[in-house]
């Protein structure tokens, strides 16, 4: 056997062995293999997409306008804190119609202007008089927030899903302010929805325990009566204060109720300064969330607790108080905790949300579809059944019409299928129902390439050429047609992958891989067999 033929044959065998090794984890045989197998050989195969495995399909809308409102509120709080830090006495801040109304001693006008120019370049003065300023967010900054809030939400949701542990999720931007989320194989959609959709705005706010309206507060109110309670007290509430509620559960009866608190509107500290959040176990085996601040947050937390010893600090998540511990001493080291009546899973989900960060704006669910695994199983069976029947018909046609040469083409087609599915497993690609359609189409294209080659060989044999020269000329003449048709289809597959979504990209992946493998098998696999037969024994006739 010539060295060139031997090298091509060994290359083909090597590709087949590698493909089978990567394909093995996707088969039922893998579960019966010894445990050490996965340590040496690949342990991940083809992942099934949402339409085959079942799971969740969500379309979310980011309320980008609220991202601007949130930015203005944070800016207003920062302005007040900065002025107080610079010893500007009695600054008052109010927000109305996206404008920040700032009041301060009139003799401090120049100092305030200097602080605003230096520390708040994104604020512009709309109106100004003695001791008062009306500030607005610059238009460029507002547009930046509107543009980036969806991308920030996308990244935050992706981080949460990654920590949740969903295999092969699809998370991508749709239009200007929508996000597509597909979670294959998820078995607890309610928990996932809560995890993804929670805004998770964490704030630390001081309680105002000297508010005069506290004298009329009941110790607790029934859940569901919060709005009526707020309407009763809103006119008596100080403009710098707000009423928030802590949800409690009676351990004996399981009854839930709310405890009202008066807290300062301006947060003393926000959750964007967190470095980490983990579940820990406290006394009585009760889980809680321990938080660690970054260096800036640790310094600020130390200052807040040091300046407010004896007061209570409410830990507020999405407008709900989780706990309101008393500050007994200055807390150094940048550590805090959120405790409450949590299950371990609830505490774990809260830690995931805090680690991933808060959404820049609330998200609204536009579409929520749960695909059951039974539907996916049915789709797989129908898809593979269609593939099996089409492959069987092709095999029968090729053997009947092209005889022995057709049998070689069938072997090449089977090699093509093994290499294609093995390539999908190597890339740990996600197989969808359109992906199965792409595999079936690739089978048809593989046969088409072999038909072109065999017809060219027939033409050469009819012209009276010897078998070996006819085979070489057949491959040479068919090469241009096969290459051109496959490359143009490959360009289409690349375009579908780049600009398509979900199922279309799944189809594009299998089609693109199928074309690449098809070029290899059509031009190498059958040719090496013909060359091998000619090297062993010069063929006088060819069954074609």
Q: What is the pLDDT of residue 501?
A: 66
CA 534 to chain centre: 55
Q: What is the pLDDT of residue 242?
A: 93
Q: What is the pLDDT of residue 228?
A: 92
Alpha-carbon gap, residue 258 to 215, rounded angstroms: 17
Indicate the pairing of strand 178-184 with strand 256-264: unpaired
What size, in residues, is the chain? 544
Indicate the pairing of strand 320-323 with strand 313-317: antiparallel
In contact, 405 and 543? CB cutoff 8 Å: yes
Phi, psi of 518 (to 5 degrees): -60, -45
In contact, 475 and 525? CB cutoff 8 Å: no
Alpha-carbon gap, residue 422 to 17, rounded angstroms: 10
In contact, 150 and 62? CB cutoff 8 Å: yes
Q: What is the pLDDT of residue 208?
A: 92
Q: Could you tell me which of 101, 110, 97 has the C-alpha nearest to residue 132?
A: 101
Q: What is the pLDDT of residue 214?
A: 92
What are the structural domains, with CATH classification, of the chain? 3-16+46-54+373-536 (1.20.1640.10), 71-140 (3.30.1360), 198-370 (3.30.1360.200)
Q: What is the pLDDT of residue 211?
A: 92
Q: What is the pLDDT of residue 213?
A: 93
Alpha-carbon gap, residue 273 to 270, rounded angstroms: 6
Q: What is the pLDDT of residue 379?
A: 66
- Listed as ranges, residues in the chain with pLDDT below 50 are none
518-544 exposure pattern, b = at least 16 Cβ within 10 A, e = fewer:
bbbbbbbbbbbbbbebbeeeeeeebeb
What pLDDT, in 10s, does the model give residues 399-417?
888 888 888 888 888 888 8
Q: What is the pLDDT of residue 455?
A: 86
Measured CA angle at 387 (ends 382, 391), to 5 deg: 150
| Residues facing residue 177 across a β-bridge | none
């Amino acid at each position: 056997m010539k060295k060139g033929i031997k090298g091509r044959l060994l290359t083909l065998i090597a590709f087949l062995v590698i493909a089978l090794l990567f394909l093995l984890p996707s088969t039922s045989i893998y579960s019966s293999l010894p445990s050490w197998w996965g340590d040496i050989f690949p342990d991940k195969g083809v992942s099934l997409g949402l339409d085959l495995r079942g799971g969740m399909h969500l379309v979310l809308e980011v309320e980008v306008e609220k991202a601007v409102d949130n930015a203005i509120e944070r800016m207003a709080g920062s302005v007040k804190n900065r002025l107080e830090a610079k010893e500007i006495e009695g600054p008052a801040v109010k927000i109305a119609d996206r404008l920040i109304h700032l009041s301060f001693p009139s003799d401090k006008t120049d100092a305030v202007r200097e602080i605003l120019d230096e520390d708040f370049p994104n604020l512009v003065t709309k109106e100004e008089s003695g001791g008062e300023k009306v500030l607005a967010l610059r238009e460029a900054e507002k547009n930046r927030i509107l543009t980036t809030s969806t991308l920030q939400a996308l990244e935050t949701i992706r981080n949460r899903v990654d920590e949740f542990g969903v295999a092969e999720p699809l998370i991508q931007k749709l239009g200007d302010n929508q996000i597509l989320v597909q979670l294959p194989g998820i078995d607890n959609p309610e928990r996932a929805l809560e995890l993804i959709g929670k805004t998770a705005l964490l704030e630390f706010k001081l309680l105002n325990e000297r508010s005069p309206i506290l004298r009329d507060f009941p110790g607790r109110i029934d859940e569901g009566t919060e709005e009526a309670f707020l309407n009763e007290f809103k006119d008596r509430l100080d403009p710098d204060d707000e009423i928030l509620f802590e949800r409690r559960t009676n351990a004996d009866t399981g009854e839930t109720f709310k405890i009202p608190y008066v807290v300062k509107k301006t947060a003393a500290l926000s959750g964007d300064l967190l470095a980490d959040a983990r579940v820990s176990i406290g006394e009585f085996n009760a889980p809680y969330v321990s938080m660690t601040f970054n260096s800036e947050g640790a310094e600020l937390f130390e200052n807040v607790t040091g300046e407010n010893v004896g007061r209570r600090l409410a830990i507020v998540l999405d407008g709900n108080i989780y706990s309101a511990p008393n500050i007994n001493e200055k807390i150094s080291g940048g550590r805090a905790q959120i405790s409450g009546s949590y299950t371990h899973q609830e505490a774990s989900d809260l830690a995931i949300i805090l680690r991933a960060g808060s959404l820049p704006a609330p998200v609204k669910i536009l579409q929520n579809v749960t695909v059951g695994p039974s539907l996916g199983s049915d789709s797989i069976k129908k898809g593979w059944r269609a593939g099996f029947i089409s492959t069987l018909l092709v095999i029968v046609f090729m053997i009947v019409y092209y005889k022995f040469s057709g049998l070689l083409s069938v072997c090449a087609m089977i090699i093509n299928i093994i290499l294609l599915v093995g390539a999908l497993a190597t890339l740990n690609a996600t197989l969808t129902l359109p992906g199965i359609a792409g595999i079936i189409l690739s089978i048809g294209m593989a046969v088409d390439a072999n038909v072109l080659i065999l017809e060219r060989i027939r033409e050469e044999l009819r012209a009276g050429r010897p078998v070996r020269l006819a085979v070489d000329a057949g491959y040479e003449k068919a090469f241009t047609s096969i290459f051109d048709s496959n490359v143009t289809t490959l360009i289409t597959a690349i375009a579908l992958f780049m600009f398509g979504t979900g199922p279309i990209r799944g189809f594009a992946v299998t089609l693109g891989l199928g074309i690449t493998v098809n070029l290899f098998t059509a031009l190498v696999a059958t040719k090496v067999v013909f060359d091998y037969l000619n090297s062993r024994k010069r063929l006088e006739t060819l069954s074609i």
